[in-house]
Chains A and B, each alone.
Chain A
Amino acid sequence: MMRIVVMVLLLIPGLLKAQTKKSIVKTSTTSATASSANTLKASITRGKTVYAKYCLTCHQVDGSGVANLNPPLINTKWTLGSKTVLIQQVLKGSSGKVEIDGDTFSNTMPPLKVLTDQQIADVLTYVRNSFGNKASAASVGEVKAVRAKLK
């Protein structure tokens, strides 16, 4: 028993740190206006439904992907980087090897231009704010602009 207590005590600083980090994030969210926070939340919720239908089978329920085949979406330069590139990826699909940290992923991603601008904005907002990711939301306007350029 004593041993367990010591082990737990040793772990406390790490756990507290994680706790602190979480509360900072929380504070920054709540400091934004209530309505934009609600908008973000609603978009994430809608995006989760889109993800389940069109993305989950390959990218997996936790965004961890499949080795060699389907790239993970957790904390990658693709997921957190340029929204334009991400939107293009969804609209055009992928037919080239994707490299992430020295691993390659080469399965075909079908183009998903059947999705509406709203659905694409929502699913990207969901992906960029799930699986431990924290990045800005994608807007309908951004999707519209990229789609117009592709035509």
Chain B
Amino acid sequence: MKRLLFILVTALVFSATHVIAQTPDQVKIKVPSGFAVSVIAKNLDRARHIVVNSNGDIYIKLARVRRGGAIVRLSDKNGDGKIDDTARFGNYGGTGIAIKNGYLYAASNTEVYRYKLNNNVPDTAHPEIIVKDLVAGRQHETKSITLDNSGNIYVTIGAPSNACQLQDRVTGAPGQDPCPLLEKTGGIWQFKADKKDQSYADGIRYATGIRNAVGLDWNSETNTLFAMQHGRDGMQDYHFYPDSISVELPAEEMLEVTKADDNFGWPYCFYNQIIGKKVLNPEYGGDAKTVGRCDGVKPPVMAFPGHMAPNGLLFYTGTQFPEKYRKGAFVAFHGSWNRAPLEQKGFLVAFVPFKNGKPSGDWEIFANGFAGKENIATPNQAIFRPCGLAQGPDGSLYVTDDAKGYVWKISFSGK
């Protein structure tokens, strides 16, 4: 009996640590000393991007319609610091959401809508279609948005492909040259923020050669657009390096767009952070070192390990956080799925310090522990997957998760 008990207890402990590592509420998000983390919402379903209005109302775009809408508004009506009112609207799933000049903008996978904010209340009965008929492929179909200070909106249109091969994702299949996908996808398009029913003919291709930029933000200090590219998959299938290096390639790139039609090289080029160069992709004759036609293609301003999937980007303009964080960039990484045979990684929020509009140091981990445990073999083992970032009027940082639909508020408490 004693032995049976021992076996049972061992089995229970084993299953507790290996199968159900932690319940979502047991997961502790680690942040630097002086910061505090609180869960402000949970189980919203697939919470993608987030924005906070000047009155503190929080808007979250869901990937799909749940409980009556795919935009969630969370309010703290009595001002006690807790959410006491939840409203849902918008009958389309999507990713992008933003607020500018009295309007709430939200994106489906093919359109961008906007709602007038009357005394901070969105006119949900009268959404205006600002952009429509955008290509949404079977991959990289989500649309991220951001606005500048001159009346323009920027929309990511991801390329529905890995490396523009004639046969997508077939190792060794050659890339199409020129890549026809670049005409309507694989970049970021600029439209007028206040003009209805625009499509490709009304906008301009503001950046090209970007496979899929999910994290997007306008930097008001440099007055330029920044984008986080999801790099290509399957580099390890070409065996240019041992697996331990191959799975880190190509870099996830932070790109700065400084002029219209700026080109970042996809699908012909990728950024090899080991040698610090944009080099030819294997589908275009590359061997991970040859530069060829990638000479002169704009490099990233910051490179991160491959496949970590940067889904959120936010330049911090507040003063609540200590000096080092001001004007710097926070990046929400969704975490990898394409690093086999090695473990998955990157379920975290990173920080990049900036000075005079340029990174002033290497990136570092700001918030971590979202996966709930170490050594994640598959993305499904991660309890949370960070996705969107926003800054509140008091300078707090908000982070969404699209695995369970959690939202965290990270504040600096001083000491």
User: Which residues does A use to contact B, with CB under 8 Å?
Assistant: 4-5, 8, 11-12, 15, 52, 56-58, 60-62, 64-70, 72, 95-97, 106-111
Closest 5 pairs (CB-CB, A-B): A60-B378, A106-B138, A110-B170, A64-B380, A108-B168
B380 and A57 contacting across the interface, CB-CB below 8 Å: no
Shortest Cβ distance from residue A65 to the other chain B in the assembled complex, whole angstroms: 7
Considering the chains assembled together, what is the distance between the CA atoms of A109 and B138 in angstroms? 11
With an 8 A cutoff between CB atoms, is B220 at the interface? no
Q: Are B380 and A60 in contact (CB under 8 A)?
A: yes
Q: Are A67 and B139 in contact (CB under 8 A)?
A: no
Q: What distance in Å separates the Cβ of A110 from its nearest Cβ neighbour in chain B?
A: 4
B267 to chain A, nearest CB (A): 14
Q: Are B9 and A8 in contact (CB under 8 A)?
A: yes
Number of residues from B at the complex interface, CB < 8 A: 28
Please determine whether B340 and A111 come into contact, CB atoms closer than 8 angstroms: no
Main secondary structure of the interface of B (DSSP, over half): loop
Separation of A109 and B168 alpha carbons in the complex (Å): 8
Assess whether A107 is in contact with B139, with CB atoms less than 8 Å apart: yes
Task: Determine the distance from Cα of A4 to Cα of B169 in the docked complex, in whole angstroms.
Answer: 52
> 1/0 per residue B374-404: CB within 8 Å of A?
0001111000000000000000000000010
Min Cβ gap B283→A in Å is 13
Q: What are 21 A-B contacts defined by CB distance under 8 Å? A: A5-B5, A8-B12, A11-B8, A12-B8, A52-B341, A56-B340, A57-B338, A58-B338, A60-B378, A64-B378, A69-B337, A97-B138, A107-B138, A107-B139, A108-B161, A108-B162, A109-B169, A110-B167, A110-B168, A110-B169, A111-B170
Chain A residue with Cβ nearest B63? A68
Q: In the complex, which residues 139-186 of chain B have their Cβ closer than 8 Å to any Cβ of chain A?
A: 139, 141, 161-162, 167-171
Structural contact, B169 and A108, CB atoms closer than 8 A: yes
Residues of B within 8 A of A108 (CB): 138-139, 161-162, 168-169
B residues bordering A, Cβ < 8 Å? 5, 8-9, 11-12, 63, 138-139, 141, 161-162, 167-171, 233-234, 236, 337-338, 340-341, 377-380, 403
Shortest distance between the CB of A55 and any CB in chain B (Å): 10
> In the assembled complex, which residues on chain A have CB atoms less than 8 Å from the CB atom of B63?
68
- What separation, in Å, do the CA atoms of A11 and B11 have in the docked complex? 11
What is the distance, in angstroms, from B2's C-beta to the closest C-beta of chain A? Answer: 11
Residue in A closest to B8 when the chains form the complex, CB atoms:
A8
With both chains docked as a complex, state the minimum distance between the C-beta of B386 and any C-beta of chain A, in angstroms: 14
Residue among A52, A62, A107 with the highest chain B CB neighbour number at 10 A: A107
Complex: A5 Cα to B12 Cα, angstroms: 12
Please give, as numbers and ranges, the residues of chain A lying within 8 Å of B233 by CB-CB distance.
57
CA distance A68 to B11 in the complex (A): 33
Structural contact, B12 and A11, CB atoms closer than 8 A: yes
* List of A residues within 8 angstroms of B403 by Cβ: 67
Residue of B whose beta carbon sits closest to that of A108 = B168
Main secondary structure of the interface of A (DSSP, over half): loop
A60: chain B residues at CB < 8 Å are 337, 340, 377-380
The residues of A that contact B162 with a CB separation of less than 8 Å are 108
Nearest-Cβ distance from residue A14 to partner chain B, whole angstroms: 11
The one of B12, B141, B340 that contacts A57, using a Cβ cutoff of 8 Å: B340
Whole-angstrom distance between the Cβ of A74 and the nearest chain B Cβ: 10
Bound-complex Cα distance A30 to B273 (A): 54
Residues from chain B with Cβ under 8 Å of A52 in the complex: 341
**B161 — which chain A residues lie within 8 A by C-beta?**
108
Q: Is A8 within 8 A of B340, CB to CB?
A: no
B11 & A15 in contact (Cβ 8 Å cutoff) = yes
B379 and A67 form a contact (CB under 8 A) = yes
A14 to B340, CA, bound (A): 35
**Chain A, Cβ-Cβ closest to B380:** A64
| A108 nearest CB across to chain B (Å) | 4
For the complex, what is the distance from the CA of A62 to the CA of B343, rounded to whole Å? Answer: 13
Contacts of B236 in A (CB 8 A): 57
Residues of A within 8 A of B380 (CB): 60, 62, 64-67, 72
Residues of the A chain whose Cβ atoms lie less than 8 Å from the Cβ of B5? 5, 8
Task: List residues of chain B with CB within 8 A of the CB of A8.
Answer: 5, 8-9, 12
A-B contact sample (9 more), CB < 8 A, given A15-B11, A64-B380, A107-B169: A5-B5, A52-B341, A56-B340, A57-B338, A58-B337, A66-B378, A67-B380, A67-B403, A72-B380
- Contact call A111/B167, Cβ cutoff below 8 A: yes
Let me know if A61 and B378 touch, CB within 8 A: yes
How far is the CB of B142 from the nearest CB of chain A, in Å? 9
The closest CB in chain B to the CB of A74 belongs to: B380
Residue of B nearest to A64 (CB): B380
Contacts of A107 in B (CB 8 A): 138-139, 169
Contact yes or no, A95 B8, CB < 8 A = no
* Contact in complex: A4, B9 (CB < 8 Å): yes
Please indicate the chain B residues that have their CB under 8 angstroms from the CB of A61 in the complex.
340, 377-378
